[in-house]
């Protein structure tokens, strides 16, 4: 079904003034074909486009909307904070509250610095690790996305993967050469690299549950292996929990898996929908940052009072409602429905889920790393996506993304989603 007239008109206008008509490439529907719709309003688990179409949303603004859209607690907190000023560039009490909350929820984080995006968090964590170790090499995994700073746009996931630019033009070769890329879940490749170059490696950065090439889970022992090998060679272990942090458990994947990284990056949920990122960890490493140490990092809007207030309200509400337990429960409802549909249709597609994050890969191959994910049948995914969209269910417009469930998704929403998904799979 084509877009409604208002979305169509807005997209034409947008393309005149914004490259490709979007401010972030993944929004452009390249992986699925067609044009993006424009949203008018979002509330709870639902969004309405400018033409009045209503959809159950499983994108959740790409992760931040863990309570659902426009939760009253967050909106009120933003109003209250705004009355006293929207930005100061002077320390404010909200920042201290947020920093303390992060340190209390995530025990490996002894000190934290607040920034305005996930990209800033990972970029700064890497500079810090380089400054702290005096080394330059960086290790990342194929298909993991850590934002769009130069050192990290190498074999990247998310929109970079979807759009066929996992290695971006404009990144100087000298930068890219300092980033070594490994397949996820491959211990032999990891050992080989560290044996050859271990003493040059400043940091290894990883999404502990890679969620930017679909959703991929670590094999038992793999994350521990990362901890052990980085310790052995004196490299900084950075967990990028921009997506998983404050979404899967109070302490993120590191709590679920019992691993203590040296540094962790956050974003998304901690901003309550406003632009926030954070990176933190060992105090001896964090104290290398200016003004205490020699590694420079700064931000005009860092610790912005509205963003802090929104994030704090979201975290408190999540805690008050025992959110992680509910998200697991409703995640299971979805999982049972999806597995039942796949069984009834005789399809061997692979389904992965952790709490409120999920991915249905359109492949019968088990997915342990990017190459497995790439066996997905993108034509079938595209048909599935459009059928669901036409029937009021909005999944991420790319096979290489993770779906998000929120506190606002109820059992009835999951039942409706399962009906639509079943019909979509029958129509393939």
CB half-sphere exposure, 421, CA atoms < 13 A:
26
Q: Looking at 198, 261, 267, 355, which residue binds ligand PMP (CB under 6 A)? A: 267
* Residue 146 lies near ligand PMP (rule: CB under 6 A): yes
**243, 357 Cβ separation under 8 angstroms:** yes
Candidate residues 118, 251, 252, 273; the one interacting with ligand PMP per rule CB under 6 A = 118
CB 145, min distance to ligand PMP, A: 5
Q: CB under 6 A: which stretch of 101-109, 115-123, 326-334, 388-396 binds ligand PMP?
A: 115-123
Q: How far is the CB of 400 from ligand PMP (least distance, A)?
A: 12
Q: Are 201 and 238 in contact (CB under 8 A)?
A: no
Half-sphere exposure of 244 (CA within 13 A, CB side): 30
Q: Which is nearer to ligand PMP, 3 or 31 (CB)?
A: 31
268 classed as catalytic: yes
Strand 46-49 and strand 54-57: pairing? antiparallel
Q: How far apart are CA 97 and CA 143, in angstroms?
A: 34
Q: Token pair for residue 323?
A: 């959110």
By the rule CB under 6 A, 243 interacts with ligand PMP: yes
In a 3-state reduction of DSSP, which class is residue 112? strand
User: Which one, 401 or 413, has the nearer CB to ligand PMP?
Assistant: 401
Distance CA 62, CA 29 (A): 14
Judge whether 288 counts as a catalytic residue. no
In the complex with ligand PMP, which residue's Cβ is closer, 50 or 126?
Answer: 126
Residue 207 binds ligand PMP, judged by CB under 6 A: yes
CA–CA separation, 126 vs 208, rounded Å? 16
CA 415 to each of CA 142, 156, 335, 340, 412: distance values in angstroms, whole numbers, following the listed order: 35, 35, 11, 12, 5
Residue 347's alpha-carbon distances to 343, 360, 427, in angstroms, are 6, 11, 13
Near ligand PMP by CB under 6 A: residue from 3, 7, 73, 119: 119
- Give catalytic status of residue 240 as yes or no: yes
- 117 interacts with ligand PMP by CB under 6 A: yes
Contact pick of 158, 230, 264, 297 for ligand PMP (by CB under 6 A): 158
In the bound state with ligand PMP, the residue whose beta carbon lies nearer, of 277 and 403, is: 277
Is 301 within 8 Å of 384 (Cβ atoms)? no
Catalytic one among 35, 142, 240, 372? 240
Of the pair 119, 151, the CB lying nearest ligand PMP is at: 119
CB 402, min distance to ligand PMP, A: 8
Catalytic pick among 111, 140, 268, 374 = 268
How many residues interact with ligand PMP (rule CB under 6 A)? 16
- d(CA 228, CA 234) in angstroms, rounded, equals 10
* Nearest approach, Cβ of residue 421 and ligand PMP (Å): 24
Nearer of residues 198 and 397 to ligand PMP, judged by Cβ? 397
Distances (CA, A) of 185 to 30, 79, 180, 207, 401: 29, 45, 15, 12, 19
The residue within the footprint of ligand PMP, chosen from 240, 262, 317, 372 (CB under 6 A), is 240
Measured from the CB atom, the residue of 22 and 341 that comes closer to ligand PMP is: 22
Selected range binding ligand PMP among 125-133, 143-151, 177-185, 322-330, rule: CB under 6 A: 143-151
Residue closer to ligand PMP by CB (options 111, 146) is 146
Residue 147 touching ligand PMP (CB under 6 A): yes
Phi-psi region of 162 (alpha: psi -120 to 50; beta: other; left: phi over 0): alpha
Residues in the chain: 428
Shortest Cβ 415–ligand PMP spacing (Å): 29
Q: Does 162 bind ligand PMP (CB under 6 A)?
A: no
Cβ at position 242, least distance to ligand PMP in Å: 3
Distance in Å, CB of 120 to ligand PMP, minimum? 7
Q: For the stretch 226-263, what's the b/e string if a residue is b when 16 or more beta carbons lie within 10 angstroms of its beta carbon?
A: bbebbeebebbbbbbbbbbbbbbbbbbbbbbbebebbb
* Cα–Cα–Cα angle for 277, 294, 106, rounded to 5 degrees: 35
Give the active site residues: 145, 240, 268
Q: Which residues bind ligand PMP (CB under 6 A)?
A: 62, 117-119, 122, 145-147, 158, 207, 212, 240, 242-243, 267, 277
């Amino acid at each position: 079904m084509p877009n409604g007239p208002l979305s169509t008109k807005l997209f034409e206008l947008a393309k005149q003034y914004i490259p490709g008509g979007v401010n972030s490439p993944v929004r452009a529907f390249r992986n699925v074909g067609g044009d993006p719709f424009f949203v008018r309003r979002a509330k709870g688990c639902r969004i309405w486009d400018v033409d009045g179409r209503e959809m159950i949303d499983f994108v959740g603004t790409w992760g931040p909307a863990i309570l659902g859209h426009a939760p009253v607690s967050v909106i009120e907190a933003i109003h209250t904070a705004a009355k006293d000023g929207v930005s100061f560039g002077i320390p404010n009490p909200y920042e201290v509250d947020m920093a303390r909350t992060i340190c209390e929820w995530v025990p490996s984080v002894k000190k934290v610095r607040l920034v305005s995006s996930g990209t800033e968090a990972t970029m700064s964590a890497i500079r810090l690790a380089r400054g702290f170790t005096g080394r330059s090499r960086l290790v990342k995994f194929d298909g993991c996305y850590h934002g769009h700073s130069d050192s990290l746009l190498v074999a990247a996931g998310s929109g970079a993967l979807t759009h066929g630019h996992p290695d971006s033009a404009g990144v100087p070769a000298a930068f890219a050469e300092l980033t070594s890329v490994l397949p996820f879940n491959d211990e032999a490749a990891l050992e080989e690299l560290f044996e050859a170059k271990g003493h040059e490696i400043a940091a290894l950065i990883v999404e502990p549950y890679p969620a930017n090439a679909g959703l991929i889970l670590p094999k038992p022992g793999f994350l521990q292996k990362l901890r052990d090998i980085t310790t052995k060679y004196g490299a900084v272990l950075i967990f990028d929990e921009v997506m998983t942090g404050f979404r899967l458990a109070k302490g993120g994947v590191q709590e679920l898996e019992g691993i203590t990284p040296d540094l962790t990056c956050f974003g998304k949920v901690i901003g309550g929908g406003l632009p926030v990122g954070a990176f933190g960890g060992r105090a001896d490493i964090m104290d290398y940052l200016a003004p205490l140490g020699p590694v420079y990092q700064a931000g005009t809007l860092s610790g912005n009072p509205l963003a802090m207030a929104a994030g704090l309200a979201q975290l408190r509400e999540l805690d008050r409602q025992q959110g992680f337990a509910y998200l697991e429960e409703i995640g299971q409802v979805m999982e049972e429905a999806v597995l039942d549909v796949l069984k009834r249709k005789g399809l061997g597609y692979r389904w992965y889920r952790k709490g409120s994050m999920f991915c249905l890969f359109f492949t019968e191959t088990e997915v342990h790393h990017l190459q497995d994910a790439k066996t997905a049948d993108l034509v079938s995914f595209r048909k599935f996506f459009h059928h669901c969209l036409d029937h009021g269910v909005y999944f991420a417009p790319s096979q290489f993304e993770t779906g998000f469930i929120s506190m606002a998704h109820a059992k009835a929403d999951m039942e409706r989603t399962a009906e639509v998904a079943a019909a979509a799979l029958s129509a393939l």
